[in-house]
Amino acid sequence: MLNQCSRLPQIIIDKNINTNYASPDCDTGDCACGITNVEASHLMPCPKTGQPQEYTTASLQKMADSSPVHRTNFNTIPLNDNYTMCYNTSYNTQAVLNHPALDLLSFFNQPNLLNDIPNKNEINYKTLQQSIKLGLLIPENHTPHIMKTMPETLSTWLHLTDRCNLRCAYCYLPHQNIDMTWQVGKLALETVFRLAVRHSYKKVKLKYAGGEAMLRFPFIIKLHQHAKNLAAEHAMALNGIILGNGTILNASMLQTIRKMSLQLMISLDGLGKYQDGQRFYASGKGTANDVIQSVMLALQHGIVPYISVTVTGQNVAGLPQLMDWLLEHDLPFNLNFYREHGISSDLTEHGISSDLSGFGNLTSLADLKLEEETIVNGMTAAFKVIENHMPNRNLLNSLVDRANLSIPHLRTCNIGQSYFAIDPLGQISKCHTQQHHPIATIYDDDPLTMIQADKTGIQNMSVNEKITCQSCEWKYWCAGGCPIVTYQASGRYDVSSPNCRIYKQLYQKAMRLEGLRLLKYANT
């Protein structure tokens, strides 16, 4: 039992998160791709291997009277009268400390020797080890050692069809009657595994998407069986996920999904009118009831779907209600901000008027836009629901659009790095939203190198190259946002997201939630 009145220093962390080496690969179901070039370590590198070395009790005792130590510039958020959330966005630091632990660290506001700690008999070296490991303390004159870890996963979006039974207000697709053939799909998979082997990846992640991918369910199963055979042939780990709208699932499909060890992502933007207002059938009928029934059916079959939520100006008021439902059923989720695309900004190409008064409570595409105060207030209300029904899992990569506040990284996503999309014709683009701008094809020798070298179209720059991000405390956890959204707003890739002000107001609130979670489940 956690003793909240303890006079001894307490440091509470998530033991499931490795504070030295954060995985650069994203495992959430609906994200576009993994994370690149994690900057993770501030520990001293081993002269022989270059890998970070732990500070052992023996090494700390050796430096106790000779090497001063000082506190790093970490941030704090009070949680209650006894505990404070501490985080350092330059490192992989998230921990809850009690007052004695903070008092101990405050002794090192100026460089001091470990042997000079007041009441040092009450301090064990394990506390000091943990403080250094977390990046709360650091030896004087020590320059942080930057560990750049490339993703181990090659991720591919397989666009199986452009057909869809919905006409969602923000969709970027023209919904043409185009399907991927077996010949193209088979060669696409063989190309992906060939590239994974050539570029030394250890895992392949396949996203079966559309349109509505479930319209081609037998084709998905045929493709994934071939992918499993290729993975076995090349001794490669494999992860497959179906991205669907949740309107045509049935028990037979779910049994097959489970048998094939596939994952499932379902889009759900709200309950009732909040879903119906922006995700509707071609007839204009809302989809909320059908999608909720599909989610419940999946749970009954032992499948826990990822829930992808697109946050817009229209549905943000319904987020608290949705969060309550998702947490009640312990469903993993991601809150993704609306992105305006050329097609979604002119639905007349879909045969739908820009006057959407007949579709739920959405009257205009302008209703979808992200107005700062509206979005922040709605998200804050949703966070309050999470606080009252806190799940025992880290949510820092799920709460604020594409930001991953759980690990430092250089890019928001991996487009142009270790991710690409293959369309029904076998053309390869950097991002699934950029299929109108293919860079290579499955018939090329090394499409991945072509993607990485391309200087046309979308440029996924490192946050270190974004001039307006340089002084931001969040830059290595935010990485500047989606480059497509940034370019649409500014005509540049080297600046921060147009949603920057919204992000900054929400990041600290998200960190507070993580602190409360750590405190709540400290004994588990």
CATH number of the CATH domain containing 86: 3.90.930
Per DSSP, what are the bridge partners of residue 148? Answer: 39
Q: Mark which of 113, 130, 145 sits at the end of a domain.
A: 145
> Is residue 513 a part of any domain in this protein?
yes
Give the range of the structural domain holding residue 497, as residue numbers without chain letter.
Answer: 401-413+460-524
| CA 463 – CA 456 distance, rounded (Å) | 19
Classify burial at 177, counting beta carbons within 10 Å of its beta carbon; exposed 0-12, middle 13-18, buried 19 or more. exposed
> Of the candidates 144, 125, 147, 205, which has an alpha carbon nearest to the alpha carbon of residue 18?
147
Q: Mark which of 127, 145, 163 sits at the end of a domain.
A: 145
| CA 309 – CA 299 distance, rounded (Å) | 18
DSSP assignments along 319-339, one per residue: HHHHHHHHHHTT--EEEEE--
> Is residue 267 a part of any domain in this protein?
no
Which are the contacts of 251, defined by CB distance < 8 A and separation ≥ 6? 297, 301
Question: What local confidence, expressed as pLDDT, does residue 37 receive?
Answer: 45
Cα 194 to chain centroid distance, Å, stands at 27
Looking only at the bridges linking them, the beta strands covering 148-149 and 38-39 are antiparallel
> Is residue 492 a part of any domain in this protein?
yes
> Is residue 197 a part of any domain in this protein?
no
| CA 6 – CA 212 distance, rounded (Å) | 56
| CA 117 – CA 125 distance, rounded (Å) | 12
Question: What local confidence, expressed as pLDDT, does residue 4 receive?
Answer: 67
* CA distances for 310 relative to 64, 275, 325, 395, angstroms: 52, 10, 16, 16
* CA distances for 424 relative to 365, 496, 516, angstroms: 29, 33, 46
> Is residue 502 a part of any domain in this protein?
yes
Phi, psi of 205 (to 5 degrees): -115, 125
> Is residue 87 a part of any domain in this protein?
yes
> Of the candidates 131, 129, 133, which has an alpha carbon nearest to the alpha carbon of residue 57?
129
> Is residue 127 a part of any domain in this protein?
yes
| CA 192 – CA 468 distance, rounded (Å) | 36
Sheet containing strand 93-98, strands side by side: 11-12, 93-98, 83-88, 75-78
Q: Which residues of the chain have pLDDT under 70?
A: 1-2, 4, 17-54, 121-123, 143-149, 341-367, 524
Question: What local confidence, expressed as pLDDT, does residue 366 receive?
Answer: 65
Question: What local confidence, expressed as pLDDT, does residue 47 receive?
Answer: 47
Per DSSP, what are the bridge partners of residue 98? Answer: 83
Q: How many structural domains are present in the chain?
A: 2
Question: What local confidence, expressed as pLDDT, does residue 6 receive?
Answer: 76
pLDDT per residue as tens digits for the range 412-457: 999 999 999 999 999 999 999 999 999 999 999 999 999 999 999 8
Q: Mark which of 114, 145, 176 sits at the end of a domain.
A: 145
Per DSSP, what are the bridge partners of residue 12? Answer: 96
The number of CA neighbours under 13 Å toward the Cβ of 361 is 12
* CA distances for 196 relative to 160, 181, 183, 432, 460, angstroms: 21, 23, 20, 19, 21
In the chain, % helix, strand, coil (3-state, to 5) comes to 35, 20, 50
Both structure tokens of 328: 């009640």
Cα 290 to chain centroid distance, Å, stands at 27
> Is residue 503 a part of any domain in this protein?
yes
Classify burial at 150, counting beta carbons within 10 Å of its beta carbon; exposed 0-12, middle 13-18, buried 19 or more. middle
